[in-house]
Amino acid sequence: MLLEFVVNGVARALEIDPETRLIDVLRDHLDLTGTKEGCGEGECGACTVIMDGVAVNACLVLGLQARGRRIVTIEGLSVDGKLDPLQQAFINEGAIQCGYCSPGMLMSAKALLLKTPHPSEPEIRLAIAGNLCRCTGYTKIVQAVQAVAREGGYQS
Amino acid sequence: MSNLVFKTPASRAELISCLAAADPATYVLGGGTDLIIRMRDRGISDGTLIDITGVPGLDGIRLDGEFLRIGANVTYSNICESALVRGTAPCLAEMAQQIGSTQIRNMARLPGNLANASPAGDSIATLMALDARLCILNGRGEASIRKVDGLVTGIGKTTLQRDEVITEVLIPRPGPHQRSRYGKIGMGARSQVVIANISMTMVLDLPPEGRIRGARIVVGSAAPMAYHAAGAEALLEGRIPDPQLAGELAEVMRAQVEASIKGIAMFQHKLNDVQGLARDLCAGLFQEM
């Protein structure tokens, strides 16, 4: 079946099987391998992408459910080779250890900041509650999101 | 090569014709957070998916003279962000806020939770306590109303027929003295065993004369199906809310859950859990009074 949607600002049209999940479309069809698959059942959040402005698990969305929608993946965060302020903050604060959760974590944090530019710490923790970091680096991650929120210079 | 057919009805009439053609391998797709896992677990690669998210008129939350009406395409995020829900059925907003994770809440909807009839389906117990009804549409184009109480008949089993779909969840408009609270002890975004170790929803009326009337208390995740804690509901009838009553309620709830877990050792913790929940809910509700 034909899937037409917009990924990281680029209109895409491709033929997929109905059971193909969004994560498979992104990774296997579009070669956007920054989005990771962890548990495959919505528990870990490693596959988080932004669909029409909100965070979703790409492993729990069929590709065809994304028809006509706008998807942003980790590859879509940087602009003209310049990292998104949130990505830079993760580096500055040491909010990355093994890195497997980082793309999903960044997309959940990005979705939060799009909606709530100056979130409280509980709001940050709630927004990333569906993202597991097995290196348990949550403190630095929360600090990184706070750093961006504090600067208030967050531009999407 | 896939043998799955993906249907995208764009009107009520198209939805009805999709339902009319439904066979045992037809699945209604809302948010998909349960269905997609089920498809993969069972290797479902043929059949028909009916994606109802393009059907107009199913994405609103509104209050009329009789009901708070929540369309089938309203997500849990929509519910917890709705001032109308918070004002009309606080326990439903509290439940929605605690279900899954942000990512799940952005996709999942009430009807899927009901139709899947998981023992850990958080919303079933809350909707039972609210005496909610469902607007159901079938393949002959007939709409009917069915109570949530009685919908679930076993683990994964409901009275929903193959050609039926839930189009709206209807919550009776509360009287002026209704109050409600929801609590759960549990964690984890979606794993079946931990989604809610136990939940408790309490809805009651407290008229100006100060005595509790018509309490409805429903326990989730403490038995194959959510159930009314009938002894606890009877205990509250006509009583004046005070800390002593909260203590009595906690004891009765413990006994009810003890009966429902049927001596299974791994569920013993639910006895203490429900006592704590009962006290928490009373603290919240009685404080408001």
Q: How many domains does chain A have?
A: 2
- The CATH number for B39's domain is 3.30.43
Q: How many domains does chain B have?
A: 3
CA distance B233 to B230: 5
Please check whether residue B240 touches A, CB under 8 A. Answer: no
Confidence of residue A151 (pLDDT cuts 50, 70, 90): confident
* Two structure tokens written together for B82: 């709705």
Confidence of residue A156 (pLDDT cuts 50, 70, 90): very low
Same domain, A53 and A98: no
Look at B33 and A130 and tell me if their CB atoms are within 8 Å. no
- Collect all residues with Cβ–Cβ distance below 8 Å to B271 and sequence separation of at least 6: B254, B257, B258, B261
Same domain, B44 and B70: no
* Two structure tokens written together for B9: 């009805």
- Collect all residues with Cβ–Cβ distance below 8 Å to B47 and sequence separation of at least 6: B3, B4, B5, B23, B25, B26, B27
The answer to whether residue A156 is domain-embedded is: no
Please check whether residue B225 touches A, CB under 8 A. Answer: no
- The CATH number for A40's domain is 3.10.20.30
Same domain, A119 and A64: no
Taking the CA of residue B176 and the nearest CA in chain A, the distance in Å comes to: 32
> Shortest CA distance to B145 belongs to which of B135, B137, B159?
B135
| Residues paired with B152 in a beta bridge | B158
pLDDT of residue B197: 82
> Shortest CA distance to B236 belongs to which of B215, B210, B257, B206?
B215
Q: Domain end: B172, B197, B215, which one?
A: B172
pLDDT of residue B265: 85
> What integer best gives the mean pLDDT of chain A?
95
- Cβ count near B142 (within 10 Å): 10
Residue with tokens 């159930």: B227
Of B6, B45, B102, the CB nearest to A130: B102
Q: Are B122 and B91 within 8 A, CB to CB?
A: no
* ipTM of model: 0.96
- The CATH number for B197's domain is 3.30.390.50
Q: Domain end: A23, A51, A76, which one?
A: A76
Same domain, B87 and B166: yes
Q: Let me know if B4 is exposed, middle or buried by CB neighbors in 10 A (0-12, 13-18, 19+).
A: buried
Residue A153 reports pLDDT greater than 60: no
- The CATH number for B141's domain is 3.30.465.10
- Collect all residues with Cβ–Cβ distance below 8 Å to B42 and sequence separation of at least 6: none
Same domain, B182 and B281: yes
Q: Are B131 and B68 within 8 A, CB to CB?
A: no
Q: Domain end: B172, B201, B232, which one?
A: B172
pTM: 0.94
Show pLDDT as tens, one digit a residue, over chain B (289 residues): 578 999 999 999 999 999 999 999 999 999 999 999 999 998 888 899 999 999 999 999 999 999 999 999 999 999 999 999 999 999 999 999 999 899 999 999 999 999 999 887 889 999 999 999 999 999 999 999 999 999 999 999 999 999 999 999 999 999 999 999 999 998 655 544 444 589 999 999 999 999 999 999 999 988 889 999 999 999 999 999 999 999 999 999 999 999 998 888 888 889 999 999 999 999 999 875 5
Same domain, B83 and B45: no
Q: Are A60 and B36 within 8 A, CB to CB?
A: yes
Look at A111 and B102 and tell me if their CB atoms are within 8 Å. yes
pLDDT of residue B121: 82
Q: Domain end: A76, A98, A115, which one?
A: A76
Confidence of residue A152 (pLDDT cuts 50, 70, 90): low
- Collect all residues with Cβ–Cβ distance below 8 Å to B168 and sequence separation of at least 6: B58, B69, B70, B71, B72, B134, B135
> What digits encode the pLDDT tens for the residues A49-82?
999 999 999 999 999 999 999 999 999 999 999 9
> Shortest CA distance to B110 belongs to which of B139, B69, B143?
B69
Please list every residue in chain A whose beta carbon sits closer than 8 Å to the beta carbon of residue B45: 19
Same domain, A9 and A64: yes
Please check whether residue B45 touches A, CB under 8 A. Answer: yes
Helix axes A102-115, A85-93, angle to 10 degrees: 130
Domain that holds residue B19: 3-54
Question: How many angstroms separate the Cα of A94 from the Cα of each of A45, A81, A135, B33, B76?
Answer: 20, 21, 12, 33, 34
SS3 B226: coil
Q: Domain end: B110, B138, B172, which one?
A: B172
Same domain, A61 and A124: no
Same domain, B49 and B71: no
Domain that holds residue A55: 2-76
> What digits encode the pLDDT tens for the residues A87-124?
999 999 999 999 999 999 999 999 999 999 999 999 99
CA distance A97 to A135: 7
Same domain, B159 and B183: no
- The CATH number for A111's domain is 1.10.150.120
> Shortest CA distance to B78 belongs to which of B56, B55, B102, B57?
B102
Same domain, A27 and A50: yes
Q: Are B279 and B250 within 8 A, CB to CB?
A: yes
Q: Domain end: A38, A54, A76, which one?
A: A76
Same domain, B186 and B256: yes
pLDDT of residue B192: 47
Taking the CA of residue A56 and the nearest CA in chain B, the distance in Å comes to: 4
**E strands, chain B, where?**
3-7, 26-29, 46-51, 61-63, 67-71, 133-138, 143-147, 152-154, 157-158, 164-172, 178-185, 198-205, 213-220, 227-228
Same domain, B168 and B65: yes
Please check whether residue B190 touches A, CB under 8 A. Answer: yes
Taking the CA of residue B252 and the nearest CA in chain A, the distance in Å comes to: 33
Same domain, B72 and B145: yes
